[in-house]
Structure 1
Amino acid sequence: MTKDVLSQDPVLIGDLDARDHTRLRVLQCIRAAGEISRTDIAKALISSPATVTSACGALLDAGLIAETAAPPSEGVQRGRPRVMLTVNGAVFAVAGVKIARDAIRLMVVGFQGQEIGTHVWPLLESRMDPEALVIEVRRALDAACAALDLPIERIAGLTIGLPGFLNADENFLHWSSSVTQGNVDLGPLIAAHIPCPTFIDNDANLVAKAEHLFGAGRGFHNFLVVTLEHGVGMGIILNDQLYRGERGCGAEFGHMKIQFEGALCQCGQRGCLEAYVGDYALIRDSGTVRGQSEIETIADIIAAARSGDTLAQEVLDRASRVLGVALANLVNLFDPEHIVVARSRPKFDQRYVDTMMATLRRNTVEVDAPLPGITVRNLDEMMWAKGAAAHAIERVSILKVRGLGVADAV
């Protein structure tokens, strides 16, 4: 049976009526299959052929899907070719944005998910006031469209991935390390500067979505993605659904407390995990003890460790052990099928990965069953934007299907 991810997510389906919900499920089924017949859709969704035919008719009329002729079966010479359905990738484009400290990374894809192009827009400041950030996103979008020779009117939706605490359903930002103010309703600012439906989500959630659809999370129903960058994030997939929490602020793994009145975190509290394993923490620990300024990046620390610098080695070793204990806590708490540790930083030497894994094993509750699989990998930084684009496709799909319902009522 086709995995029906989109229709199960209550944040995404919103207030769709029964007919629109069916259309959305059919659209998602076609997207997941790539190419499929009406008969097979009905079987996959356990629905009547008449219901599926009606839903497909509305989607075809709207241009969201297209018909194709299936190639003839071997040895079959007569009869009408079977009609297949596929998502119409050319009907419009969507964009995904990742807000990093040094740049806005943007990916544009077609409605079928095919990549059209990417663009990097440098940022002069790592933190901005909310309106300035939205304006920079618009400039990045304009620049990307110009570079790709794509009219901005073709962009049907945009998702912005941000670090921090936010309510994706309301476009409300509680706090972010990229923004100088907290508790901001970004909706009016977005409407004032960006000419297409725009959505926000936690950037780690978007990496989890990207891993689920395209990466190391494919085939798993319950898994975790831990992201290591300037800070530490986490995305949770439970029963094929992205878990955000009641206020949209769940899965803040980086702000789990590991030391009472410990090191100062960028969130303003003390003792958070990321204050010990985030990029800024490792740079702080390496430079402060030295009393020197030659350590400015993670790459500097890694290079120093490889050259035999004892302090750099100790900083990386301690961070690996702290992260190993924290990951063991996740295993004990969630018992997931798999955990992806996704890093955008330069690749660490294997010795530190081995230290993390050994610490994880020592601190995991022992049962007569194997530990979940652990994938540790460095991500192309466009993976964040790719997840944002996937989120935008889902949201735009809902808007377009909801629009069909409005047209029915007219």
Structure 2
Amino acid sequence: MLTQYAAGDTSDGRKGVGPLIPPLSDTLRPLRQQVFECVRAAGLIPRVQVAKDLGVSPASVTTITSDLIDSGLIEEVAAPPRDSETVRGRPAVALGVRAQAHRVAGMKISDREHTAVIVDFAGTLIADDSIPRRPGPMSVAELLDAIEALLDRVCAKAGVARAELSGIGVGVPGFVDSADGVVLWSSVLTDRTVPLAALASARLGPPVWIDNDANLVALAELWFGAGRGLSDFAVVTIEHGVGMGFVMNHRIYRGSQRLGLELGHTKVQLDGALCRCGQRGCLEAYVADYALAREATTALNWGHKEGQSITVLLESLYDHAKAGNATARSIFRRAGRYLAVGLSNVVNLFDPALIILSGERMRYDYLYAAETLAEMDNLTINTGRPRPPIEIHAWGDLLWAHGAAALALSAVSESLLSANRDIAAQ
């Protein structure tokens, strides 16, 4: 489900719930880590291509890959022949991540549904599951109960015991300090400053890593999607809120306090509409689903019935817009104009190679109609060069859970690489 509009590891890792290994640039990261990430990103790749991609000697790559094979992190795989290629003599060998080495779980906790996946070390899906929930914040105990129940369900589907998991990644909306494993504020929690990673790890057994859910969508794109071959790109998510994840030099950029890039809470209107964060004039308060629902109930005089799903209301609004209702169309048009403001600011600030708009709400094509993109172009600084391409991904909640799994995969692999490096240095 991908539409392209064009003009023209990875995340921080840490051991258990301890301190993060600080992000490093490509020039500073150990070569063994660069080699592993090159193999992981490619899926299957010959040694000679790894050497070319990294600009290092084939001998160095041979030494490092032999060490990684001995450590059980990668393996040799017979390379498939090219089209019409006749294989003579010994078949070509490629390198790939050893899929069976580890299994991890990824979970997304949201306002309307919790989703989970279990993947192998290569990121291949083993099982997935989801449980619905009533909107509104939960206590910490309720959240931990929900996480445990969903994990047990998806483990049962995968035929994997909890103790067999090497790690668990969890994504939540809100302000999350991934390094400390603390949720400072989230729409799904009644409490603030919750050490969720430590609490969940103590309850579940395997080490747990947490992050903002928009960062995890960016991780999913980096590991499995359109960002796999890019060093710098932005992901803007539009669902129950508006989020942003930014990949810089192959890694999630977080800011000095690890809480940056809250695009949904940038201000687009002084003394404007009330946002669920408690402030006024946030971009989210004009674009997110609750903002569209608020406009519908006000402008169309629709009563929001007790217990009615906001999704049902939005689907009705979209159907009215498609049928030609001028008021319904104007609601989406207004949201699209505010989205254009936010996207133009992303381009002006970061100059990304690609912008990915992701989330279930991207089914509403009014949000990225031609006039919205034209308005974004008008608001972007005219440098004489084309703006970044924009891709639309409406893949639903499983993508977010895959991003949480990528967080766990990244943390586990970086921990293993660091441990092996320390052993080799002794």
State the partner residue of 2:380.
Answer: 364
State the partner residue of 1:399.
Answer: 415
Q: How does 1:328-407 map to 2 (within 5 A)?
A: 328-345=344-361, 347-349=363-365, 353-405=369-421
Amino acid at match of 1:27: F
State the partner residue of 1:23.
Answer: 32
Asked whether 1:301 is paired with 2:308, we answer: no
Q: How does 1:13-162 map to 2 (within 5 A)?
A: 14=21, 21-38=30-47, 40-47=49-56, 52-69=61-78, 84-162=94-172
Name the SS of the counterpart of 1:132 in structure 2: helix
Equivalent of 2:252, from 242, 245, 270? 242
Name the CA shift for 1:10/1:200 in 2 (closer, same or farther; >3 Å). closer
Q: CA deviation digits over 1:254-298, x for unaligned, max 9?
A: 000111121111111111111111100110121134152368432
Aligned residues of 1:131 and 1:189 also touching (Cα < 8 A):
no
Asked whether 1:324 is paired with 2:333, we answer: no
Name the CA shift for 1:403/1:284 in 2 (closer, same or farther; >3 Å). same
Shift of 1:159: 0.8
In structure 2, C-alpha distance between the alignment counterparts of 1:211 and 1:376, rounded to whole Å: 12
In structure 1, C-alpha distance between the alignment counterparts of 2:209 and 2:419, rounded to whole Å: 18
Q: CA deviation digits over 1:3-52, x for unaligned, max 9?
A: xxx27x666681799xx944333322322333345555455445566654
Amino acid at match of 2:233: F
Name the SS of the counterpart of 2:375 in structure 1: helix
Name the CA shift for 1:402/1:319 in 2 (closer, same or farther; >3 Å). same
Amino acid at match of 2:335: A
Shift of 1:368: 1.6
Q: Taking CA–CA contacts closer than 8 Å with sequence separation of 6 or more, which of the two structures ends up with the larger relative contact order? A: 2
Name the CA shift for 1:407/1:125 in 2 (closer, same or farther; >3 Å). farther
Amino acid at match of 2:338: V
Name the CA shift for 1:39/1:201 in 2 (closer, same or farther; >3 Å). same
Name the SS of the counterpart of 2:345 in structure 1: helix
Name the SS of the counterpart of 1:90 in structure 2: helix
In structure 1, C-alpha distance between the alignment counterparts of 2:86 and 2:238, rounded to whole Å: 54
Name the CA shift for 1:55/1:15 in 2 (closer, same or farther; >3 Å). farther
Name the CA shift for 1:316/1:389 in 2 (closer, same or farther; >3 Å). same
Aligned residues of 2:335 and 2:367 also touching (Cα < 8 A):
no
Name the SS of the counterpart of 1:159 in structure 2: strand
In structure 2, C-alpha distance between the alignment counterparts of 1:37 and 1:320, rounded to whole Å: 45
State the partner residue of 2:3.
Answer: none
Q: CA deviation digits over 1:112-151, x for unaligned, max 9?
A: 1111121112224542122321331121111001122222
Amino acid at match of 1:292: G
Alignment: residue pair count: 403
Name the SS of the counterpart of 2:363 in structure 1: coil
In structure 2, C-alpha distance between the alignment counterparts of 1:351 and 1:231, rounded to whole Å: 14
State the partner residue of 1:3.
Answer: none
Amino acid at match of 1:23: R
Name the SS of the counterpart of 2:245 in structure 1: strand
Name the SS of the counterpart of 2:99 in structure 1: coil
Shift of 1:362: 2.4
Shift of 1:75: 6.8
Amino acid at match of 1:356: T
Equivalent of 2:179, from 160, 163, 169? 169
State the partner residue of 2:326.
Answer: 310
Name the SS of the counterpart of 1:233 in structure 2: strand
Asked whether 1:183 is paired with 2:187, we answer: no
In structure 2, C-alpha distance between the alignment counterparts of 1:380 and 1:291, rounded to whole Å: 27
Larger displacement relative to structure 2 (119-128 or 222-231): 119-128
Aligned residues of 1:298 and 1:345 also touching (Cα < 8 A):
no
In structure 2, C-alpha distance between the alignment counterparts of 1:88 and 1:225, rounded to whole Å: 29
In structure 2, C-alpha distance between the alignment counterparts of 1:52 and 1:367, rounded to whole Å: 41
Aligned residues of 1:16 and 1:402 also touching (Cα < 8 A):
no
Shift of 1:72: 8.8
**After TM superposition, which residue ranges in structure 1, 4 or more long, deviate above 6 angstroms?**
71-76
Equivalent of 1:292, from 292, 296, 303? 303
In structure 1, C-alpha distance between the alignment counterparts of 2:227 and 2:421, rounded to whole Å: 34
Name the CA shift for 1:84/1:124 in 2 (closer, same or farther; >3 Å). same
Amino acid at match of 1:309: N
Q: CA deviation digits over 1:198-227, x for unaligned, max 9?
A: 111111111112223333334333321111
In structure 1, C-alpha distance between the alignment counterparts of 2:171 and 2:213, rounded to whole Å: 4
Aligned residues of 2:355 and 2:389 also touching (Cα < 8 A):
yes
Aligned residues of 2:12 and 2:251 also touching (Cα < 8 A):
no
Q: Identity across aligned pairs (percent)?
A: 39
